Structure formats: C-alpha cells, structure tokens
Structure 1
Amino acid sequence: MRDSRRFIAPALLGLLLVVALVWGYNQYQVRKQHEIALENHYQRLFFDVKKHVENVQVNLSKALVADSKEQNIVLFSQIMNEAFSAKDKLGQMPITHAESAKTEKFLTQAADYSSYLIQRHLLGEGVTKEQREALNNLQTNSAAFNGELSKIYDSLAESNFALGAMSSKQSKKVEQGNQKVFQTSLVTLDKQMAKTPELIYDGPFSDQMLNRKPVGLPDNDVSMDEARNTALEFFGKDRVRDIQAFEEGENMNEVKIPSYTFHLYPQNQQKDLAVYMGVSKKGGKVVWMVNPRPVSNIKLSIKNAEDKALKYLKEKGFDNMESNYSLKYDGTILFNFAYKEKDVTIYPDLIKVKVALDTGEIVGFDASAYYMNHHERNIETPHIDETEARSKVKVDFNIDSARLAIIPKGKNEILCYEFKGKYNDSDFIIYINALDGREEQILQIIKDENGTLTF
C-alpha cells in the first residue's frame, strides 16, 4: 500500500505538469492568433489608405481636365468619399495624432473643398482660376502623398516591420527599431503634407476655421501629473496595471487640441496591449481614447451597445446626448452622439463612442469636435413655423419626422428644420433654414446590417 502511494504523488505532479504545459501552449497559440489578426487588420488598413489616396489623386487629375459641371459634381463626390475613407482608416492605425495631424488635415480639406465646389456648381457657378490652382495644389500633394506611402511600404517590407508592434511590446531593441522606421517615415510624410497652400473658402475645414481655438475647454492649464490622474480616473484606477506618458512628436502643439498622451495597461488585457489616451493641456479634459484590443465572440445587439455607450457618456458627465448614426465593423460599433438643448439637436457638438460587441466595453472615445464647438448658445426663435418650412420641401417627399437642429455651415451655425423622410423608397434628410426658408442641405441615409450612415 505504501509503495503504491509513493508512485501516486509523482504521477499527479507529472499529470499537472502536462496539463500546465498544454494550457501554456494553448495560451501561446491564442496570443499568436490575436497578434496575427491584429497585424492583418493593420496591413489591410494601410493598403486601404493607399488605395483611397490613389483614387483621390486620379479623380483630382480628372477634375482638372473636366469641363462640364455635371462631370465635376460626380468627380468631386468621389474625391470627397475617398478622402474621408482614407482619413477614417488612417485614424485606426497605431500612430499618434501629432504624427498624422497634417496628413489628416490634407485629407479633410480635400474632401471639404470638393463639397464646397459641388455647392458652387449647384448654384450655377463654374470653377474659377483661383479654385483651379487650389485643385492643382491638392492634386500635386496627393501624388506626393501616394509616392510617400509607397516608399513607407517598401521600407517596412525591407525591414520586416510588423504594424502590430506599434501597439504591442516586442523585445526592446526590435520595438525601438520598428518605431524608428515607421515614425520617421510618418514625420517625413506629414512634413510633405505641410506644403499644401492654405485653402481660403467658406467651409468648416478651411484653414481659417482649422486654426481656431477650442471654445469648449476650461481656461486653466494642467500639469503632466494632473493629466495622468485625470486619465486614470477616466479609465478607472482599479482597472490599470501601469500608465506611461509618451511624446507625440515635434508637431504635437500643432494639433487642434494640444494634449498630454498616455499608454494605459489594463489589468485584464494582455500585458503588451496598451490603451492610448489624450488629455487636453488646457482644461485637463480627456479628448480621445483608443483601445485596440481584438474583439471576438460577438454577443451584443446594436441597441444594447447604444445603451452602454449612452450610459458611459452620462457617467463621464455628458448629459443631453442623443445617438444619430452608427457604423459596425471588426466586432465593434461606432456611434455619433450629438448634444441636445431645448429640443434642438446641435450637430457641431459631436462625440464618438466605440463599443466592443463581445463584452460591451467602451474601446473608443473622441470628444474633440465637442470641445472645439460646445458653448452656451443663444438659440434664436425661428422666423418661420414648421408648416411654412414644410412647404419648401419637395411635394412628393414623404416626411416621417421633423425637428429643429443646428448644423455647421462654414464658420457659422444655422438653425434649421430637419425633415426626415422617403423619396422613391430611399431615406433622406432635408434641412430648411428656420430663419429664411432656404434649403440648406440634403443628406441621404444609408441603412444596412452594419448601421446607419449619411452622405
């Protein structure tokens, strides 16, 4: 009996060792799968950005030789969509705001300037000499942008660079080498984009508008330590294993809202996957937060995710916010929330919240538009009533709902009646100026299984 007992303990220990080894190997495989999925995601984003920029360049070239207003409207619409898509994909890359600030500005202005020219065409105006020069400058820079992207890709390929390494710690030497290759390339690219001449026009992303200061932040300056505490409080101190400040680069003060930036390492997340957060130097407010963790086993409905996003905003002190549009991708859903005051929806005061559809965790937050625009407003009383505004809408447009809203137009904000409805089985929003009855804007609503967008 005693002999048999002597063999039981080693056998149990051996079995436990085998189980531990199998468990460890499985964990290693799961981690490798996550790393591969993250790397594939970033590689796809990079290729998408490059393709969108190529399309911007091609369509700008076509617009320079096109003569008819009808053809230009089609081309400018394509430029607008491609530039916004490139900017959206660039924003999902594992890079800091300052490293891509000028590039994002270029893409935003290319889209907005195209929208501006479409409006001019619809009013019967042609492209002026000055506007053609601006288009030529945009085309030249889009060609340079595309060339730089190709160089970056070749450089990364030659150095066996992994984009996923930008958001995960490899060995110190490899990590620093990767960052040097990628960030140096991005700084070169961003400097190239800085050569774009100023665009002077009446648009929300014109230089005179982009250079303005945020009006929604407190006036006090905060220190790095104060910002660090704010970041911890915002994310939850008990959820953070470690926090490290990082420098956004030499252009960090040129971003719209200069911020202290941090890597936060959550307790329940793999050790090398950081959450990025920016806290404004003026006022000490969390401006943005990105958690690039992979998402699997989707469980939440869009409605449940929206409820969690709205609850999150209330917990962070943002009251009177309403969800308007959403987009689902890569296991997450991104909501646009607009501020509401006195039953008036104020679209310039916008906050974006991204929800992971596996656990409902908030993995993205962007309040930059809110802090740029939010202020106490003296909302005018409409000069025309809703009935008169309805009479300005196409007769056979079937209106489902109507409300007052403030929309941006150039450097101004306009009080409008917002009419949602259908025409030929398609959903649209029509904005009628509540002061003079002018038709200000028309948006088409696209709904599918991934959410709701406007164009």
Structure 2
Amino acid sequence: MYKRMSAVLFPIVALILIATAYWGYQQYKQKNAVILKAESQYQRAFHDLSYHVEKLHSELGNALAVNSASQGMHRKSLANVWRITSEAQSEINQLPLTLLPFSKTEDFLSHISNFSYKASMRDMTKEPLSKDEMKMLKTLYSNSEQISNDLQKVQATALKNNLRWLDVEQVMASKTQKLDNSIIDGFKTVDKKVGNYPEINWGPAVASVYSKRSVTMLSGQNATKEEIKKKASTFLGDHKITDVKVVENGAKTEYASYSVTGKRKDTQTVVHLDYTKRGGHLISYMDTRDIGAKKISKDQAMEAAQKFLNEHNYPEMVPVSYDEYDNIGSTIFAHKQQGIIFYPERITVRIALDNGEVTGIQASDYEYKKHVFDKKNTKPKLSVEQARKYLNPDLKERFNRLVMIENELGKPTLCYEFVGDVNSATYRIYLNANTGMEENIEELKGMKQKNPAS
C-alpha cells in the first residue's frame, strides 16, 4: 500500500518542488532585472548631471566671451543656459537625493535657470545685459566651474571603486547606518561649498519669483484674539455659529496669523477661517458640510457668489472665470476700478450647487495685492484699435478689455486682453497697452461663455 502511495505521491511532490524552484528562480531573475534597471537609471542620471554642469560652465563662458553689446549671442547663450540647467535639475530629481542635503545646489541651479530664462526672453535691443548682470555672469562662471570639478571627482571615485547608487539609497534610508558612502560625502561637500558662496544679487526679476509675501503689504495694526473672534462672529452670523475658538499661529513672527473654528447650529458641521494678525484681514473661509445633488444653474451660482461678496464688503468685484466639480461651483472674481480689471487682486468663491450657499472663499491674493498697484497712472498709450493691429489677423475676436497683470518679470503691466478663436481653438492674449508687445497667451479649454465681466 505504501509503495503504491509513494509511487503516486513522489512524482507529484517532485513536480511541486521543481515548480517551486522554477518560480523562485524566475522571481530571482526578475528582482535582479529590476535592480539592474534601477542602478542603470541612477548611473545614467548621475553621469548626465556631471556632463550638463560642465556644459553649463562652458555656455556661461560663451556668454562672457562675446562683446557686451552682442545682444543676439547673449540671447542664444542664455537660452542654452536655461535649457542645460533645466536638464540638470531633471537629472537631480532622478537621483535618490531626497534624504541627502543637496538643496543649496538645487536652489543655485534654480536661480540660474530663472535668470537665464527671463533675460533671454526680453528685448535686448532695448534692455541689454547690465554691468551688474555681466558681473553676476562672471561669478556664475567661476562657481559652476567649481561645482563641475567637484562632481567630476565624485564621478571618478564612483567609477574607480565601482560604487553603486542603490547602496547610496540604502544607506540614506537606514536610520542606523552612518552616512559614510563616498558618493554621499561628495554631494555633501558640493552642497556645503555652494552654501558658502557669497550672496548673489539676482536682480528684481528673479527675486520676485522667490519673494515671500510680507506683512508690509497689509494695511492696519495688529489685531487681538478678541477682535478676530468678533470679526469671525460678525462674518458668520452670531445666531448661526457656536463654540467660536481662536488660535494664534506663528506668534512673535512677522507671519503671525489667526485660525478660527466654529460649529454651525443647523448642520453641526465645523467651519474654518484664517485671518492675518496685521490688520485682521480674512484670507480664507471654509464650511465643511456635505454637498447634496446639483439643483442650481451656473448663472444662479455666480449670482449667489456676487451677492455674498457685496454683503461682505468686497466692492467692485467682477467674475472672470467659472468651473464646476463635485457639485461645487468655483468662481474667480477680480477687482475692477476705473474700467480696469486688476487680475492679481482676486478672490475665489466656492458655491454649493445644492442650494447656492457660499461654503468657502480664498482671499489671500486680494488682501496682499490690493495696495500694491498704482491705480492713478493707468492710462494706456495705445488705443484698443491700435493694439488690435498687433494681433494675428486670422483671430476672430470675441471680446476685449483693459486689465492689469503681473508679467514674467513680476512687474505690474497694463494690457489689453483679447479673447478670440483661431485654428479651431480659443485663446486669451495679453498685449501690452503701451507697446503692443505680447505679454502672455493661453489657450482656453472648452470656453463657451461670453465676456464674463460685461
């Protein structure tokens, strides 16, 4: 009997063992293939990074080698610098450096990228590189040479000792191992040197990209918790809200603010509000209640949002865009004064489409920007008819209006906004109202409405 069972079971067990061994071998091969692919990608990104930093140094040298009045060559070289730094930044993002302090080098490349892009995009026949910018290019040329040499040393060490990037990733992810890998040490050295570079004056165009909002942009004196509680109760309606609580954030810093919470009596859901400490300005409001099925139209939602802003003392706000998602209407309003729409002074209003109730606003742009723009000197040098001559003659214009925007250099710029159709698509084009130059252009997906501000 046992012989018969053995005769039957032995080949079955043998087949199971063989299948298990084969499966294990296949898993082993797949694992090794994944590891090999990951390591190859890391190696490629690292070597490309070293190559592009070396090219960056070379291209900065080209910009310095030509005559200071050579606008065409400067534009070409700076465009190449922007392209090369963008590629270098992409390669850094492909390396396992998230746990490694390499932020100063990334920030340095980001500043170079922004400067080179903005400089190459401007009209150098009217605004050539200044003496300060040429001086800065010399500094960047010297700094990039040092970074390139240091990266090449890391590259040489990695090749000589056959170091793997997967080991780097493992060491950085480990909380017990010491960071003594040669590649890690090399990148830490590079970043430390970059951090010790003298401060560079990047100019206002680049500085505007990295500038933080300051309390100096706000009006009024510092508000107390009691004043904020009163403001919030008035905004929400004393008869509708209970348990109003105020918490100060960032106390004793210039970015101090207040967070307010309360509970609706009817739905028992929580509402949140945020105020600036300087001036006690409301910058956001959110009601967390669940939204039911859609029952109101877009026009009704926009009308409800407009009424809400009027009731809460936001004067002369006009709708400039509308979108819907999850039974919520979202409308962006911008401040309109003297016939001009100031786009940076905007408020986003969130409307529940089940009953038209406003359940949220975002007003930080409005509060921080409303005192920035000069509302007096806003007369355009070009008429709308003169500006229209700078458009593509094939554009079928829907409407136009006078607006204030912030251009790529962060400067307030008076523009004519033209919306029209060309090549089976709808575009919004901003033409400088003083020069006719194109400041910006964007395609509008699925736009069907007429002038929302008219």
Do they superpose with TM above 0.5? yes
Q: Hey, what does 1:320 align to over in structure 2?
A: 316
1:210 maps onto 2:206 in alignment: no
In structure 2, C-alpha distance between the alignment counterparts of 1:62 and 1:423, rounded to whole Å: 44
| AA partner of residue 223 (structure 2) | V
Higher radius of gyration, 1 or 2? 2
Q: For structure 1, which segment, 348-357 or 240-249, has the greater mean C-alpha deviation from structure 2 after superposition?
A: 240-249
Whether the 8 Å CA contact 2:228–2:246 is kept in 1: the answer is no
Q: Which region of structure 1 is more displaced relative to structure 2, 305-314 or 411-420?
A: 411-420
Deviation at 1:229, TM superposition (A): 0.4
User: Does residue 326 of structure 2 align to residue 330 of structure 1?
Assistant: yes
> Distance in 1 between the 2:110 and 2:321 partners?
20
Equivalent residue runs for 1:118-133 within 5 Å: 122=121
The correspondence of residues 13-412 of structure 1 with structure 2, limited to 5 A, is 122=121, 200=202, 202=204, 206=208, 209-217=211-219, 219-248=220-249, 253=253, 255=255, 258-270=256-268, 273-375=269-371, 377-409=375-407, 410-412=409-411
| Distance change >3 Å, CA 348–CA 415, structure 1 → 2 | same
Q: Shift of the alpha carbon at 1:264? A: 1.2
Work out whether residues 82 and 112 of structure 2, in 8 Å CA contact, stay in contact via their aligned partners in 1. no
Q: Distance in 2 between matches of 1:291 and 1:112?
A: 39
1:321, distance to aligned residue in structure 2 (A): 0.8
C-alpha distance in structure 1 between counterparts of 2:412 and 2:422, whole Å: 27
Q: Tell me by how many angstroms 1:259 deviates.
A: 2.1
Change (3 A) 1:394 1:335: same
CA drift at 1:330: 2.5
Give the secondary structure class of the aligned counterpart of 1:237. Answer: coil
| Distance in structure 1 (CA, Å) of the matches to 2:430 and 2:295 | 37
Which residue of 2 is the match for residue 101 of structure 1? none
- Residues 200, 206 of structure 1: 8 Å contact kept: no
Judge conservation of contact 2:413–2:432 (CA < 8 Å) in 1: yes
Aligned amino acid, residue 436 of structure 2:
G
Q: Distance in 1 between matches of 2:236 and 2:250?
A: 24
Q: Share of identical aligned residues, percent?
A: 24
* Offset at residue 211 of structure 1 (A): 4.5
Paired amino acid for 1:224 = K
Distance 1:385 1:269 in 2: 54
Separation of aligned partners in 1, 2:434 and 2:426: 25
Cα distance change of structure 1 residues 282 and 442 upon mapping to structure 2, 3 Å threshold: same
C-alpha deviation, 1:71, in angstroms: 13
d(CA) in 1 for partners of 2:114, 2:445: 19
Give the 3-state SS of the residue equivalent to 1:396 in structure 2.
coil
TM-score normalised by structure 1 residue count: 0.55
Checking the alignment, whether the CA contact within 8 Å between 1:431 and 1:440 is kept in structure 2 is yes
Superposition CA RMSD, Å: 4.6
Secondary structure of the residue aligned to 1:231 is: helix
Task: Answer whether contact 1:278 1:288 (CA < 8 A) is retained.
Answer: yes
Q: Distance in 1 between matches of 2:295 and 2:113?
A: 40
Task: Determine the structure 2 residue equivalent to 1:187.
Answer: none
Q: Are the aligned partners of 1:200 and 1:207 in contact in 2 as well (CA < 8 Å)? A: no
Aligned counterparts of 1:229 and 1:379: Cα–Cα separation in 2: 38
Instruction: Give the residue type in structure 2 aligned to 1:387.
Output: E
SS where residue 239 of structure 2 aligns? helix
Deviation at 1:70, TM superposition (A): 10
Residues of 2 paired with 1:267 and 1:63: CA distance?
64
Q: Distance in 1 between matches of 2:276 and 2:238?
A: 19
Alignment CA distance shift 1:224-1:437 (3 Å): same
Letter of the structure 2 residue corresponding to residue 279 of structure 1: Y
Is the Cα–Cα contact under 8 Å of residues 231 and 279 in structure 1 kept in the other structure?
Answer: no
SS of structure 1 residue aligned to 2:289: coil
Q: After TM superposition, give the deviation of residue 220 of structure 1 in Å.
A: 2.4
1:289-347, Cα deviation, whole Å (9 max, x unpaired): 12232212121222111111111000011121111112322321221110011111111
When residues 248 and 339 of structure 1 are mapped into structure 2, their CA distance, relative to the original with a 3 A threshold, is same
What is the TM-score of this pair, normalised by structure 2?
Answer: 0.55
Distance 1:62 1:289 in 2: 48
Q: Which runs of 5+ in 2 are unaligned?
A: 1-44, 57-76, 90-108, 125-136, 148-168, 174-194
Aligned length: 303
Whether the aligned pair in 1 keeps the contact of 2:274 and 2:283 (CA below 8 Å) is yes
> Aligned letter for 1:441?
N
User: What letter is aligned with 1:227?
Assistant: I
Gaps in structure 1 of 5+ consecutive residues? 1-56, 80-109, 137-146, 152-194
